[in-house]
Amino acid sequence: MERESILFTPFGIGGLTLSNRIIMAPTYLGYGHNDGTVSDLLLEHYKTMAASGAALIVVENTGIHPSGLGAPSMLRIDDDRYLKGLAGPAKVIRAEGALAFIQINHAGRYAFMPERMAPSPVPIGKATPREMTLEDIEHATAWFARAAARAQSAGFDGVELHGGTGYLLSQFLSPRTNRRTDGYGGTPQNRMRFPLEVVDAVMAAVGKGFPVGYRFIAEEFFPEGLHTDEAIPFAKELAKKGIAYLSVMVGTHESFALEPYATMEKDEGYMAGHAATIKKAVPTTPVITAGRIQSPATARAILEAGKADLIGLARVLFADPLWPKKARGLVSAPIVPCSPSCSLCTRRVMTGKPPFCSQWDKERRQAFLGRIGETGSPEL
């Protein structure tokens, strides 16, 4: 039990005070409707997550433009008509006493429709995206800025730019997916240019006092891809701009199956080493680390070692939404761990089925399947 732990000390980001060091890292579960609007299921989910005792909930990646949706049920923030619905998650999260941020994203070459745009026409499966023109780059920058302003209008406390998982912002950064020969490609400085221009535009759109965080890719794991030595100067540029935090992750959808990622991904705190490298490079910028942080003792050790300032829980919080309360001793029961050998939630997300967790007890699984109208047994 970690009642007295650093885990339960306040921490400031971008002018806001988090009541403890635990955040819910963004986790897309496909609980939204197929038109990108908020569903009751999604609202219930965020209420449960916020009631966990985590200080900050980052709502899953949300689409800034129809051309950049990663899946049909991805939430959308590309038009004012989504504002009313998006106010829902902000409200339920805040009602539970947590801060509410939302992650905004353009999927680029990972968009789900056949027509895609990306920095360069690097094939993905059977699709080859078209190379973005300078006009496309200008438009995409404006879409990010307008989406961030909508997040503010919808009542969120801050916004996070999705610069991880191989989506558009990281596609520009990576020499593997950015083969441009103009001012947005080639040298590391040119490859950083688009994400940095997006940060400027977003900061200008929301004004001072509204934190802008960044989901940050520290390593891609492809020999010809982005490596940590190039990610470090980018982190320094983001820090100079006054980014509220860097939420450090590694890998992209294409590199998740590669070694060493596939092996390290099973380990507790598997991204903490990369977070520590980034933290060392930008000591005054808050750094979040996530990745199977199953036990409060591991979380405390990461914080005490100065590897990160904040602990992100994604699948871990989904498996046990009482993790923070149990860690604090407010609920006396063992934490239910996310099983490293299970990928049920991810598999269901990939096949468009609302996910549940294999670690939930049978009654909870049964109730969830009833809730989504899925017939069949809750046995796995």
Ligand X SMILES: Cc1cc2nc3c(=O)[nH]c(=O)nc-3n(C[C@H](O)[C@H](O)[C@H](O)COP(=O)(O)O)c2cc1C
Residues identified as active-site: 167
- Rounded distance between C-alpha atoms, residue 76 and residue 196, angstroms: 23
Select 95 or 350, whichever has its Cβ closest to ligand X: 350
| # binding residues, ligand X (CB under 6 A) | 22
Rg from Cα positions in the chain:
19
Alpha helices in the chain (DSSP H): 40-50, 83-95, 134-153, 168-173, 188-206, 228-240, 261-264, 272-281, 296-304, 315-319, 323-328, 344-350, 362-371
Select 185 or 269, whichever has its Cβ closest to ligand X: 269
The contact pattern for ligand X, residues 196-235, with x = CB under 6 A and - = no contact, is: -------------------x--------------------
Alpha helices in 96-187 (DSSP H): 134-153, 168-173
Rule CB under 6 A: which of 117-176 touch ligand X? 162, 164-165
- Rounded distance between C-alpha atoms, residue 118 and residue 106, angstroms: 10
The contact pattern for ligand X, residues 320-359, with x = CB under 6 A and - = no contact, is: -------------------------xx--x----------
Rule CB under 6 A: which of 247-266 touch ligand X? 249
Residues 226, 231, 233, 234, Cα dihedral to 10°? 100
CB of 370 to ligand X, least distance (A): 22
Select 185 or 308, whichever has its Cβ closest to ligand X: 308
Rule CB under 6 A: which of 7-36 touch ligand X? 25-28
Sole binder of ligand X in the list 315, 325, 326, 365 (CB under 6 A): 315
Q: What is the SS3 assignment for 255?
A: coil
Token pair belonging to 108: 């680029």
Select 185 or 288, whichever has its Cβ closest to ligand X: 288
Binding residues (CB under 6 A) for ligand X: these are: 25-28, 60-61, 103, 162, 164-165, 215, 249, 290-292, 313-316, 345-346, 349
